[in-house]
Amino acid sequence: MNLGVEIAGVSLKNPVTTGSGTFGSGEEYSEFVDLSSLGAVTTKGVANVPWEGNPTPRVAETYGGMLNAVGLQNPGVDVMIKRDLPFLKKAGAAVIVNVCGRTVEDYIEVVERLSDQPVDLLEINVSCPNVKEGGIAFGQDPKALYEITKAVKEKADQPIIMKLSPNVTDIKEMAKAAEAAGSDALSLINTLTGMKIDIEKRDFLLANKTGGLSGPAIKPVAVRMVYEVCSTVKIPVIGMGGILNAEDALEFIMAGATAVAVGTANFTDPCAAVKVIDGIKSYMERHNIEDIRELIGCVK
């Protein structure tokens, strides 16, 4: 049985990675998950310098989902290079580094610093709704997305995956812009912007007022967008948004995703990603499917 897939020339042993920001640097979850059993570990967004992130509360539970406004707190790319990447290499994990920045220059600095590092793929986060500058501003306008994609692609040594925001009128336009600018792959969806009000305190639940909605609540929107994008562009897609189990992951794969990421589900069960892999295997056995690639985009 073959579970292996390929993203932009990089072979992954199976199609399951982790949602950036929901799996730390991988180290924290290594107590529960053999990192080398994952298709890849996708790390928390990293910038050129350390970021403090937003004030707390940073998370709020919502019905079937959660809001987060962590605000991309990260220790900066130097710490990642010194501490996290060696750890991941030793653990035998394929690595997707998620990159964030305030300006195009910030992004470029990070990808350049990573060029000689044991990093398989670069995921460029232009879709974080929780920071004032950068982030989603690049991800809601096809022209801005085109420009940053082109600029980053020029400097990046590893293949790049532009990560798209769902907070747009037409996800197909965004996907086309990223493809045209040379993105090697796409990942989607990042979180939907949401808000929760504490009616007892009569105040916002998050210090940042708004946050990004993730979890199974958003899965139907994510599957729809992945389907639309896969019907529009030729580059491979990593699908995510609300995957709790193998059935959810298979929806994305059948909609056209070459790989999937397990995000919020890690908070519900730290072993979620591994269970998704096992569940996909059982599905394939039960249905006599020899190669996962038979399932990619099989629903049209």
Partner 1 sequence: MGKHNIKAEIVSQKKLSTDIFDMTLNVGDMAKEALPGQFVSVYVNDGSKLLPRPISICGIDAKHKTVRIVYRIAGKGTELLSTYEAGTRLNVLGPLGNGFNMKNEKAILIGGGIGIPPMLELAKQLKCEKTIVLGYRNQDTFLKEEFEAYGEVLVSTEDGSVGTKGNVIDAVREQAREGSVIYACGPTPMLKGVKAYAEEMGLEAQISLEERMACGIGACLACVCKSKEVDGHTHVRNKRVCKDGPVFDAKEVEF
* Residues 110 and 99: beta-carbon distance below 8 Å: yes
Tokens 């910038």 belong to 47
**One-letter amino acid identity for 54?**
N
CB of 26 to partner 1, least distance (A): 9
Q: Longest Cα pair distance anywhere in the chain, in angstroms?
A: 55
d(CA 299, CA 230): 11
Q: Which does 177 bind (CB under 5 to 8 A by kind): ligand FMN, partner 1, a copy of itself, none?
A: none
Of 289, 283, 290, residue with least CA distance to 250: 283
**Nearest distance from C-beta of residue 290 to ligand FMN, angstroms:** 28
Q: Residue 109 binds which entry of ligand FMN, partner 1, a copy of itself, none, with Cβ cut-offs from 5 to 8 Å by kind?
A: none
Question: What is the footprint of partner 1 within residues 175-234 (CB under 8 A)?
Answer: 215-216
Q: Is 183 in the site for ligand FMN (CB under 6 A)?
A: no
- Please tell me the distance from the alpha carbon of residue 41 to that of residue 61, in angstroms, as a whole number: 25
Q: Cα–Cα distance between 233 and 174 in angstroms, integer?
A: 10
- The number of beta carbons lying within 10 Å of the beta carbon of residue 286 is 8
**Residue 64 or residue 289: which is nearer to ligand FMN going by CB?**
64
75 binds, among partner 1, ligand FMN, a copy of itself, none (CB under 5 to 8 A by kind): partner 1
Residues in a beta bridge with 214: 66
Q: How far apart are CA 228 and CA 30, in angstroms?
A: 35
- Give the pair of three-digit tokens for residue 162: 């532009």
Residues 6+ apart with CB under 8 A from 97: 42, 43, 46, 80, 85, 114, 119, 121, 122, 123
* Minimal distance, residue 270 CB to partner 1, in Å: 6
Q: Which of 162, 264, 280, 284 binds ligand FMN (CB under 6 A)?
A: 264
Residue count of the chain, please give it. Answer: 300
Task: Rank residues 75 and 182 by Cβ distance to partner 1 and give the closer one.
Answer: 75
Interface residues toward a copy of itself, by CB under 8 A: 62-65, 67, 140, 167-170, 192-197, 199, 202-204, 210-211, 213, 216-221, 223-224, 227, 242, 244, 247, 250-251, 254-255, 283, 298-299
> What DSSP designation does 178 have?
H
Q: Which of 10, 36, 37, 53 binds partner 1 (CB under 8 A)?
A: 53
Nearest Cα to Cα of residue 168 among 135, 196, 193: 193
Please list the residues that pair with 66 across neighbouring strands.
Answer: 61, 214
The stretch among 24-32, 202-210, 235-243, 278-286 that binds ligand FMN (CB under 6 A) is 235-243
Residue 125, annotated as binding a ligand = yes
* 211 sits near ligand FMN (criterion: CB under 6 A): no
Per DSSP bridges, beta strands 197-198 and 203-204 are antiparallel
Angle at 257 between CA 254 and CA 262, to 5 degrees: 100
Binders of partner 1: how many residues, by CB under 8 A?
39
Using CB under 6 A as the binding criterion, the count of chain residues that bind ligand FMN stands at 25
Q: Taking CB under 8 A as the criterion, which residues in 56-95 touch partner 1?
A: 56-61, 63-66, 68, 70, 73, 75-76, 79
Among ligand FMN, partner 1, a copy of itself, none, the one that 224 touches (CB under a kind-dependent 5 to 8 A) is a copy of itself
Q: Point out the annotated binding site.
A: 20, 44-45, 68-72, 98, 125, 163, 189-191, 215, 241-242, 263-264
Residues of the shown chain interacting with partner 1 in the complex, contacts defined by CB under 8 A: 21-25, 28-29, 31-32, 44, 50-53, 56-61, 63-66, 68, 70, 73, 75-76, 79, 215-216, 264, 266-271
